[in-house]
A and B are shown apart, each in its own frame.
Chain A
Amino acid sequence: MFNQYRNAALLLGLALLPLSLLAGLMLGSVPLPADTLWAVLQGDDSAVSGLIITDLRLPRVLAAALVGAALGLAGALAQTLLRNPLADPYLLGVANGASLMAVMHLLGWPLITLLPLPLAAFIGGLLAFSMVWFCARGRGDQINPLILTLSGIAIAALLSALTTLVMLLGDQRALGPTLRWMLGSLAGVELGQLPLLLVLLIGCAAVAWQRRQQLDALLMGWNKAQTLGVNIRRERLLWCGIIVLLASASVALAGAVSFVGLVVPHLARLLLGPGHRALIPASLLIGALLLIWVDILCRTALAPEELPLGIPMAVLAVPLLLSLLRKQAQ
């Protein structure tokens, strides 16, 4: 009975995805009717509407789907690995490390400007996670999930303070784009930037699906999972690596979009249960759908002005998260 409901819900989500992508192409500061979209999809890209769809909206809506799916999956993995329902992919310091490097790039710091912005952010995320991992390591390479979480919070706070300092010392005219990047935005994304995240997402989702049983075992805690044959040292390195790769690549593309990785796994669990057989595809789908529609909201709510992704995400996600937590507490 539950399996039938689960399969039906996943099929419904899968059907909603192309519809949402089409809506993302049609809706924006300039709404485009379906016949115009159809003509452009047939190859007629001569008109302005063709440029809007192929050059602006198509990369953007695809990027929203990819970033949403990547952060949804990374959030589900982080909550399982750390056995903490409040964990999100940014808890390992990734967003703050990426933000610091991106802000330094935007403010024209020497050497860092030699790298493309996405690559600088990606490296910042990886370096921050390396610091968290190093701080959390105990005697004999032992790692406690609580120490890992607290190290992540501490390093994130330090990097956040450094980011503020860099902003205060930097050129005040660059603060606008810097702030927009820190709150997340898909404006200006190009098709050529998407293949890296697409390949990473497919690879990471395939590994997670193939190891869903090990992920279920991790829900019991690291010690208990080990008694069922799970190689904890290997698994925690694998999952931390995957979380950091997905989060860093997402931040590099869309900036530090908050709340997606936190709220999506909760929604997926509420709808389809805690087992990873359903949680992995559900987190991918819900993450993609959520960010596509939040991006549409960002483009249309105050058109022609655009909102950063972080603002509507916070407005939508905080009440949702609080009501989910309240329901769980009851």
Chain B
Amino acid sequence: MCIELHQLTLNQGHRTVVQPTDLHLHRGEKIGLIGPNGSGKTTLLKAIAGLHSPASGRISLDCHCLSGLAPQDLAQQMAILLQDQPTDLPLSVHDTIELAAMARPDGRAGPSVAELLAIAHLTPLAHTPVSRLSGGERQRVFLAQALFQAPQILLLDEPSNHLDVRHQWQLLQHCHDTIETVIASYHDFNLAAALCDRLILLVDGVIQADGPPQQVLTPANLKRHFGVDSERLSNDDDAPHIRVLGAVA
């Protein structure tokens, strides 16, 4: 067992964004969270990372209640790529990635800063302040920082934001290949289907479907919850490939 949600309810101000939810997320799984805007994906990921306190219920990590864990202990197991990155950070790309050393336990094997700079194609920008980078470059810096933590669990909130197609596939595939457990929210159905072995469809804070991509990404689900007509271009045994035909009239 890895992460358990027990009757978890999450609020934003007076608005309930995640209804009472029970969920078991297992070690080794590659999980994709999908859902329309405002469905509670970001809030749920922040709650799992200890950044958002539950209104009721609890989250436990390996049977330990998350609220009882010190930030340092949590950071040694879990890294998160947030959706909103600081745009005015004056530190260099190299120093920003290296900051994650404080969350990496002594002796844990992991990539070096130089290796991650190369993987994220940031080597020529190593000494450039993060504040001078484009949105996509900044996203790659913080993805590299999360990988430098060498976490057992990686949470990604819409990681494909700002990334060009090459970096979307290359970097996210690298994350899924090298990190034991990945939980990521996606808007791209095909990216989610290709990278994840389990998808959770969240709508208005309620889990509407949970299972392998071929069970979740059905034309009926997409029409009902996303308001789009679609067709599947691959057979049921493969990761489904979805072609969106257009919004429902």
Interface size for B (C-beta < 8 A) is 28
Nearest CB to that of A213 among chain B residues?
A: B102
Chain A contacts for B199, CB-based, 8 A: none
One of B86-94, B114-122, B166-174 contacting the partner: B86-94
Considering only residues 56-80 of chain B, those with a C-beta below 8 Å from chain A are 70-76, 79-80
Chain A contacts for B86, CB-based, 8 A: 219-221, 224
Contacts A224-B82, A232-B71; A216 near B51 (Cβ below 8 A): no
* B79 and A227 contacting across the interface, CB-CB below 8 Å: yes
CA of A226 to CA of B69 in the docked complex: distance in angstroms? 12
CA of A273 to CA of B129 in the docked complex: distance in angstroms? 10
* A227 and B80 contacting across the interface, CB-CB below 8 Å: yes
Chain A contacts for B9, CB-based, 8 A: none
Chain B contacts for A214, CB-based, 8 A: 102
Chain B contacts for A224, CB-based, 8 A: 82, 85-86
Closest Cβ of chain B: how far from A310's Cβ, in Å? 29
- A264-277 to B contact mask, C-beta < 8 Å, 1/0: 00000100011100
Closest Cβ of chain A: how far from B122's Cβ, in Å? 17
Neighbour of A274 across the interface among B53, B73, B80, B91, CB < 8 A: B91
Considering only residues 244-296 of chain A, those with a C-beta below 8 Å from chain B are 269, 273-275
Chain A contacts for B89, CB-based, 8 A: 219-220
* A217 and B102 contacting across the interface, CB-CB below 8 Å: yes
* A230 and B71 contacting across the interface, CB-CB below 8 Å: yes
Closest Cβ of chain B: how far from A194's Cβ, in Å? 34
CA of A306 to CA of B91 in the docked complex: distance in angstroms? 42
Closest Cβ of chain A: how far from B58's Cβ, in Å? 15
* A228 contacts the other chain (CB 8 A): yes
* A176 contacts the other chain (CB 8 A): no
Contacts A229-B71, A231-B71; A216 near B99 (Cβ below 8 A): yes
* B44 contacts the other chain (CB 8 A): no
* A226 and B71 contacting across the interface, CB-CB below 8 Å: yes
CA of A224 to CA of B118 in the docked complex: distance in angstroms? 23
* B102 and A229 contacting across the interface, CB-CB below 8 Å: yes
* A228 and B51 contacting across the interface, CB-CB below 8 Å: no
* A228 and B91 contacting across the interface, CB-CB below 8 Å: no
Closest Cβ of chain A: how far from B10's Cβ, in Å? 13
CA of A219 to CA of B88 in the docked complex: distance in angstroms? 9
Which of B73, B79, B85, B99 has the largest number of chain A CB atoms within 10 A?
B99
Query: Which residues from chain A sit less than 8 Å from chain B, CB to CB?
Result: 83, 140, 213-214, 216-217, 219-221, 223-224, 226-232, 269, 273-275
For the complex of A and B, the 4 pairs showing the least CB-CB separation, nearest first, are: A229-B75, A274-B90, A229-B72, A229-B103
